[in-house]
C-alpha cells in the first residue's frame, strides 16, 4: 500500500498569514495513464470532507484561489496564501493512483 505522510501534523497560523502543508508518498503517484492522482481535502469541525484540489494543482469548483497545490512524483504541497477564520480544520492528502486508496494522517490548521 502507498503510505502518505503529512507534515506538520499541527499548524497554528496567524490570520492573514500563509500556511503550507507537505505530503509525501512512499511511491510515485504517477499513474500509467500519465496523470498524478493526488488530492487535497478539507474537513471543518463537525463537517464531512470537502475536495479542494485534485490532480496536484487543480482547484475544485467553488474553492477560493488562496488555496493552491503543487508538486510531482512523491512530494506535494498545499498552500493557503492568506489564512482566514473559515480555513480552520483538518487537511488531508489522498492518493487515487493505486488501490487501496490512501490518505495522509491529517494536518490540523488552527488560528494562533
Give the cell for residue 111: 488560528
Q: Nearest CA to 82 among 18, 12, 11?
A: 18
For residues 74 and 97, which CB has a smaller minimum distance to another protein in the complex?
97
Give the separation between CA 89 and CA 107, rounded to whole angstroms: 8
Give the separation between CA 61 and CA 56, rounded to whole angstroms: 15
CB of 100 to another protein, least distance (A): 5
Q: Does 54 bind another protein (CB under 8 A)?
A: yes
Q: Does 103 bind another protein (CB under 8 A)?
A: yes
Q: Does 24 bind another protein (CB under 8 A)?
A: no
Give the separation between CA 13 and CA 70, rounded to whole angstroms: 20
Q: Does 16 bind another protein (CB under 8 A)?
A: no
Q: Which residues bind another protein (CB under 8 A)?
A: 1, 37, 39, 41, 43, 48-51, 54, 60, 90, 92, 94, 96, 99-106
Amino acid at each position: 500500500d502507498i503510505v502518505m505522510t503529512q507534515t506538520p501534523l499541527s499548524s497554528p497560523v496567524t490570520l492573514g498569514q500563509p500556511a503550507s502543508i507537505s505530503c509525501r508518498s512512499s511511491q510515485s503517484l504517477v499513474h500509467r495513464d500519465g496523470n498524478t492522482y493526488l488530492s487535497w481535502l478539507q474537513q471543518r469541525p463537525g463537517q464531512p470532507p470537502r475536495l479542494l484540489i485534485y490532480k496536484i494543482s487543480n482547484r475544485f469548483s467553488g474553492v477560493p484561489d488562496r488555496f493552491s497545490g503543487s508538486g510531482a512524483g512523491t512530494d506535494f504541497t498545499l498552500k493557503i496564501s492568506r489564512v482566514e477564520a473559515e480555513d480552520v480544520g483538518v487537511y488531508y492528502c489522498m492518493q487515487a493512483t493505486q488501490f487501496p486508496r490512501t490518505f495522509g494522517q491529517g494536518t490540523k490548521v488552527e488560528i494562533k
